Amino acid sequence: MTTVSRTFDVHPEPAVVVDYLKDFSNAEEWDPGTESCTRNDSGPVQVGSTWHNTSKIAGVSTELTYTLEQLTADTIVLVGRNDTATSTDTITVVPNPDGSGSRVTYEAVIELKGAAKIADPIMKIVFEKIGGDTEDDMTNVLNRLA
C-alpha cells in the first residue's frame, strides 16, 4: 500500500474549493496522470455519483471507476476501483489559519492487488513525484477560482 499526502494553501474560500473538487471530472485539469474523467450518472454531484477515469502513470494506462463515498462541508472522499488497484483519495478543506482562503490536504492511498503488489516499492517513488505535480496543478487551478 502506498500513501501520498500534501497540504497546501489556496486563495478561494473552502465552500468554493469543495464545490469544485467534489466533481471528479475536474481531475482532468489538476491531476497530471488523468487523461479523461467522465461522469457516469447525471444530476447533482452527491454521495454515490460515479466517474470513469483513464490515467497514464509511468507509461501505463489504467481505468478506474471512482465513486464519491463521502461529502461534507470540509471533506471529500473518492474511491477508485478496478481489478488491480483501489485508490482512496481524501481531500480535506478548512479555512486557512491566517484567515484568508483555504488549507487543502490531499491524501491518496493506493492499494495494489494480486500480482501488482510486487510493484509497491516502485509505485511509492512514482506516486511521490505525481503528488508534487498534483499539488502544483491543483494549487494553480484552484487559485484561478478566487
CA distances from 145 to 88, 96, 126 (A): 25, 16, 29
Strand partners, 51: 39, 66
Strand partners, 11: none
Q: Are 14 and 100 in contact (CB under 8 A)?
A: no
Q: Could you tell me which residue, 115 or 131, shows the higher pLDDT? A: 131
Q: Could you tell me which residue, 111 or 119, shows the higher pLDDT? A: 111
What architecture is domain 2-144?
2-Layer Sandwich (3.30)
Using the predicted structure, report yes or no on whether residue 126 has a pLDDT greater than 80: no
Residue environment code for 111-140, b if the CB has 16+ CB neighbours within 10 A, otherwise e: bbeeeeeebeeebeebbeebbeebbebbbe
Query: For the range 50-54, what are the long-range contacts, defined as Cβ-Cβ under 8 Å and sequence gap of 24 or more?
Result: 51/24, 51/25, 51/27, 53/24, 53/27, 53/80
The pLDDT assigned to 122 comes to: 58
Please name the amino acid found at residue 73: A
**If DSSP codes are grouped into helix, strand and coil, which group holds residue 71?**
strand
Average pLDDT over residues 96-115: 89
By CB neighbour count within 10 A (0-12 exposed, 13-18 middle, 19+ buried), where does 89 fall?
Answer: buried
Domain map (residue ranges) of the chain: 2-144
Confidence of residue 10 (pLDDT cuts 50, 70, 90): very high
Strands 102-112 and 85-95: antiparallel
pLDDT in tens, 48-74: 999 999 998 777 789 999 999 999 999
The pLDDT assigned to 118 comes to: 54
